[in-house]
Amino acid sequence: MTDLATEGALASPARAIEAAQSVWSLRWRRFRHHRAGIASLAILALLVLFCLSAYPLERYLNLDSNATDLLSRYDPPSATHWLGTDEGGRDELLRLMYGGQISLLVGLLATVIGGGIGVSLGLVAGYFGGRLDSFLMRLTDGVIALPLLPLLIVLAALDLTKLGFSSEFAHSGAAGFWRIVVIIALVDWTAIARLVRAATLSVKERDYILAARASGAGALYVMATHVLPNIVTPIIVALTLTVGRVILFESVLSFLGFGIVPPTPSWGNMLNNAQELVTTAPALAIYPGLLIFITVIAVNFLGDGMQHAFDPRSERR
Amino acid sequence: MLAFTLRRMGQTLVVLLVMSFIIYGLIGLMPGDPIDIMAASMPGVTPEVVAKLRAIYGLDQPLMLRYWRWLMAALQGDLGFSRTHSQPVLEVLMPALWQTCKLMISSFVLSVIAALILGVVSALRPGGFVDSFVSLFAFAGISVPVFWLALVLILTFAVALHWLPASGMTNVGDGGFMDQVRHLTLPVLTLMLANTGQFTRYVRAAMIETLRMDFVRTAWAKGAGAWRVVIVHALRNALIPVVTIMALSFGTLFSGALVTETMFAQQGMGKMIYDSILSNDFNLALSGLLFATLITLLSNLAADLAYGWLDPRIALK
């Protein structure tokens, strides 16, 4: 850290640019010392690799992950079925891999959409202030006060045709997938909105913003080029933690039968018949949940590590 | 303080009213309506009769009017009739509410106690061995899917060890106090483990901050014993934000309670809402959701009032 500072001070213009870019390399250095964070990053990379290898493995083992075979239900692990088969005689390992793709994808997409809602509302509330701010913050408080899971169940059970969607769309697999993404995004934007509002309030009176406004920059331009880049750090951390929460929401909704619709697997809906699994095939009741658990705990430790690395006040750890 | 209390109560009422309208509207968007269900059980019914039935029950009226009628009836204590239970909604709701209160309050109290112990112990030596261990436990608690935790506990304590019953509320022909306690043990343990993680993090953060303060150093310097400094001086002060945030999270326990009750077949509010949505019991679902919202709102109100009472500066704002 010390040699970086001296380097920056003595630097030629070209070196100065390098030093300016090195905020992220500095953060990376600090992150590397957060053992749990590094381990989580490695685990997440392995999990993604694991899920993406579904198709190659399917070809290699010459299996079809969707083909049911009622004669080989709950087969024990074998050379063809490495983790055995499920209640439909389908390969458990392949379904875990494909299910993971769905669960992770829902986690990322809902975070991006919910994050988008939260960032926009927070920016607008913080930047403009006044009545708009108090209205948006009351709205946020209202959503926070809701019992989320029952509400998500109701939203998942809504009849899309009553909302004006065509009947074929409402019953298609794509609608089932996007419905989950959208409803989770609709309830899980409040933490981001509050955070962005607070951060916006703290930067909006700074001189560089006043200068930009004085030279005639519009509100949208100032928000996009001056406010957002300066508050992006806490947003990244919060978004990371949101991914973990969203994966948990998706899994519990799918588990309760209101999420991803079988036969499309997700880590949640693979436990739909958990009551039966507990007595007939306990291992199958463990695997999907264990993967969710590992994913979410890794995501949370990653967020924690980033928080330490991004916060200049935190020393070591 | 009185003005603050009254204002917060007023706000709570307004939010409840707004929520009742939103939930009423959402329930109306669920698949099918009561008349469809009635018609399905009457073979040979003509569309004219169906239309006439709609008119008799007022289902052809605009949403606002139907909501107004429902609200007026609800204010007089008439929440309608539960289709699946063939009983007035209130008579189904009350025992379920009591069951959920038992589950939520006992697991809440237990997690608060566990979190206070774990949080204080880990804050004494941040970064130490005990702290790392408690941190891992806390992260695990935040990251675990509640339904899977329940599954693991069922597999361990009910299926493998046969110590405790896996589901239900009483054994047939028993139903004494100890029998009820045995049936509640695993659900309470599940919900408690899932919440202790977050609570521990609150206590740890608040304690670390408080232990750094000058008055704590003064207490050490005066030669006060370790127990006295940590518990009497530091913990008492750290408790102010902790009490508030814990009370705020009481409402969020409801989502966990829904999953836990479903997993362990406990006839509480969560399972009742879940079942009523699955079986299109609109009146029951509507009232259940409203009561769940009410629980959350009341715990938020209690948290705010407690905070205003513990820290009088808040009430003045």
Query: Is some CB atom of chain A closer than 8 A to the CB atom of B146?
Result: yes
d(CA A197, CA A212): 20
Closest CA to A121 of A134, A111, A110, A109: A134
Consecutive H or E run containing A268: none
Q: What is the pLDDT of residue A18?
A: 53
In the DSSP assignment, the letter for residue A126 is H
Q: What is the pLDDT of residue B144?
A: 93
Residues 268-307 of B with CB under 8 A from A: 270, 273-274, 277-278, 285, 288-289, 292-293, 295-297, 300
Confidence band (pLDDT; 50, 70, 90) for A13? low
List, for residues A95-154, the tens digit of each pLDDT value.
Answer: 889 999 999 999 999 999 999 999 999 999 999 988 999 889 888 888 887 888 988 998
Query: Is some CB atom of chain B closer than 8 A to the CB atom of A244?
Result: yes
Write down the CATH number for the domain with range B90-310.
1.10.3720.10
The ranges assigned to domains in chain A are 33-310
Q: What is the pLDDT of residue A101?
A: 92
Query: Is some CB atom of chain A closer than 8 A to the CB atom of B13?
Result: no
Residues facing residue A91 across a β-bridge: A85
Closest CA to A137 of A190, A66, A96, A187: A190
Residues 147-186 of B with CB under 8 A from A: 147-148, 151-152, 154-155, 159, 166
Report which of residues A227 and B240 the model is more confident about: A227
* Per-10-residue mean pLDDT, chain B, length 317: 84 88 87 75 77 77 84 83 82 90 92 93 87 91 92 87 77 73 88 92 89 86 82 83 82 88 89 89 89 87 80 63
DSSP characters over chain B: -HHHHHHHHHHHHHHHHHHHHHHHHHHHTSSS-HHHHHHHTSTT--HHHHHHHHHHHTTTS-HHHHHHHHHHHHHTT---EETTTTEEHHHHHHHHHHHHHHHHHHHHHHHHHHHHHHHHHHHHSTTSHHHHHHHHHHHHHHHS-HHHHHHHHIIIIIIIS--S-SS-SS-TT---HHHHHHHHHHHHHHHHHHHHHHHHHHHHHHHHHHHTSHHHHHHHHTT--HHIIIIIIIIHHHHHHHHHHHHHHHTTHHHHHHHHHHHHT--SHHHHHHHHHHTT-HHHHHHHHHHHHHHHHHHHHHHHHHHHHHSTHHHH-
Write down the CATH number for the domain with range A33-310.
1.10.3720.10
Residues 192-251 of B with CB under 8 A from A: 251
Contact between A154 and B27 using a beta-carbon 8 Å cutoff: yes
List, for residues A170-191, the tens digit of each pLDDT value.
Answer: 777 778 889 899 999 999 999 9
Report which of residues A281 and A229 the model is more confident about: A229
A15, pLDDT greater than 60: no
The average confidence (pLDDT) of chain A is: 83
Q: What is the pLDDT of residue B111?
A: 93
Give, to the nearest 10 degrees, the angle between helix A148-157 and helix B282-310: 150
Q: What is the pLDDT of residue A316?
A: 45
A271, pLDDT greater than 70: yes
Rg (CA), chain B: 24
Query: Cis omega (within 30 of 0) on the bond before A263?
Result: yes
Confidence band (pLDDT; 50, 70, 90) for A1? very low
In this complex, the residue of A153, A293, A317 whose CB is nearest that of residue B143 is A293
Confidence band (pLDDT; 50, 70, 90) for A284? confident
Consecutive H or E run containing A271: none
List, for residues B67-109, the tens digit of each pLDDT value.
Answer: 888 888 888 888 888 878 888 888 888 999 999 999 999 999 9
% residues pLDDT > 70 (chain A): 91
Q: What is the pLDDT of residue B55?
A: 79
Q: What is the pLDDT of residue A3?
A: 46
In this complex, the residue of A147, A151, A282 whose CB is nearest that of residue B251 is A147
Residues facing residue A266 across a β-bridge: none
d(CA B233, CA B215): 8
Q: Mutate which of A40, A153, A292 to test chain B, going by most B C-beta atoms within 10 A?
A: A153
Confidence band (pLDDT; 50, 70, 90) for A46? very high
Cα–Cα distances in Å, from B152 out to A5, A140, B296? 52, 35, 28
Residues facing residue B88 across a β-bridge: B81
Contact between A271 and B148 using a beta-carbon 8 Å cutoff: yes
Query: Is some CB atom of chain B closer than 8 A to the CB atom of A26?
Result: no
d(CA A197, CA A188): 16
Report which of residues A20 and A277 the model is more confident about: A277
Query: Is some CB atom of chain B closer than 8 A to the CB atom of A154?
Result: yes
Q: What is the pLDDT of residue A272?
A: 83
A295, pLDDT greater than 90: yes
Instruction: Check: CB of residue B183 under 8 Å from CB of residue B170.
Output: yes
Closest CA to B71 of B38, B11, B25, B30: B25
Which positions in chain B touch A290 (Cβ < 8 Å)?
Answer: 148
List, for residues B179-207, the tens digit of each pLDDT value.
Answer: 888 888 899 999 999 999 999 999 998 88
A199, with CB counted inside 10 A (0-12, 13-18, 19+), is: buried
State the complex-level ipTM.
0.85
Confidence band (pLDDT; 50, 70, 90) for A206? confident
Which positions in chain B touch A252 (Cβ < 8 Å)?
Answer: 145-147, 259
The ranges assigned to domains in chain B are 2-88, 90-310
Lowest mean pLDDT among A1-15, A200-214, B103-117, B259-273: A1-15
